[in-house]
Structure 1
Amino acid sequence: MAQSPDILKIAIAGASGRMGHMLIEAVRNDPMCMLAGALDVPSSPGIGNDATGFLGQASGVNIESDVRKGLQNSHVLIDFTRPEGTLAHLKICRELGVKLVIGTTGFTDEQKAEIAEAAKDIAIVMAPNMSVGVNVTLKLLQMAAQAMPTGYDIEIIEAHHRHKVDAPSGTALKMGEVIADAIGRDLKDCAVYERYGHTGERDPSTIGFSTIRGGDIVGDHTVLFAGIGERIEITHKSSSRATYAQGSLRAASFLASKKNGLFDMFDVLSLR
């Protein structure tokens, strides 16, 4: 039977990992998507295996370390790997005209500029968290900050599993950026990431971050607006990476009609 021309052909980076498996399963369960490629590092034991073998199914798509080969039949690459890997994939996506959904975190400003430059040629959605719920939470934080620009101390507390290598999380930093922008501050100037010893009184213009790493916590984020006589806590808790996978597919579908440009989940979800 001929495939519908509307079927979105998706490749997954980090196909042997936990998030890779979640993304592959989500693609396989979506009737409007097709798994067209699977990538992993050359040292991965999954190289050469069928990408859906972990599901007890055969897809005919093998996990490749050759990026060009893995992308040759794909419209979009979804990448939740490491900054260095994502940037290597980015170069080849740009060459091949493959669109890109980036869920990787931990980029430097220079690396973000490199992604923005590539977006002149291909369409990219980049967000530190692809969860629909997290991005609705970001919108709520923006509204709260605009309504309470003074008189409230702002603290961001995040918790993730023991294997997460960057801190604070990209989601926590995005929360800080959204809040700072809403109240006319620059997060680079007002963020406080560490407190130890005699710190003196809290500077009311700062935004504080606290990081917890342990166990198998998927991702918890709480923003505290502490005023005199009251406090507001806005919290999002993830119990499954499936939310990130579903949001990623929405981002991939959003890119189907875009030729180039750099977008985020506010664009995907019409939250501007």
Structure 2
Amino acid sequence: MSSITVADAGSAEDTGRSETPGFRLPLGLILPPVLFTVALIAIWAALSAAGIIPRYILPSPEAIFNEFIKNYSVLTKHALYTISEALAGFVIGNCAAVLMAIVFSYSGLLKDAFYPFALISRAIPIIAFTPLLVIVLGRGLPPVIAVVSISVYFPAFLNMIRGLASADVDYHEMMHTLSASRWQRLRIVDWPASIPYLFAALKVSASAAFIGAIVAEWIGANKGLGYLVVISGQYFKLPTLWAAIIVAAGLTLILLAIVVLVERMLHRWTATATDL
């Protein structure tokens, strides 16, 4: 294991301090997607006005904007229901994944027995189990939260397994030399090494949470944005349908932005070796 002099440590500390990003998002990161969105809406409005895009497929931006104003209370009510389902499943699934990954890191036998099934599970669409969950748990919040939890569990579990095993062997040798306990190795070496993997999983989970909630609402709920999409489609209320879709997309982006901001706040622990 290579040695580090005091001067090297001081320069590394200064470099890390100068390169650690602040909490302000750079304009270059925000401006391009904003300009692209504005241009996309302008093209959409022009094509709708020219009749190139049939309004029975995609209403004009003006019609959807009016739908937001007219049915604001309805969209808010269903959005709050979906938010509660998605966030509950997001927290439950990720917490369970982290705890199970830590347990499996202590037992190689459990890891060898369960890990192949975790890999296979990613090829099975969770929506196939939604009717069964509705039968077991009933309609409403429980089956939807269960679907979301399962959707976010396996990506987080697999990433945490990789993250906990990614720590440098030299660090483990040093901890062994210091007679550190298994808990001390986990807290000092394995857990910091797994944090970048955890945030990578959280970014995937941020999208999977709302997707899972909306899809599960098609079958097992009588509230939520997914339910609103189904009902609007059945009655050909396309502005309401697209308004619900846009709200769901916005909520997904908000949750993803929160995860990214937290990751930036914890940059000292989430940075890779090449970033330091």
Q: Is the structural similarity TM-score above 0.5?
A: no
TM-score (norm 1): 0.23
Which protein shows a greater Rg?
2
TM-score (norm 2): 0.22
Question: Highest relative contact order (Cα 8 Å, sep 6+), 1 or 2?
Answer: 2
Structure with more strand by fraction: 1
Structure with more helix by fraction: 2
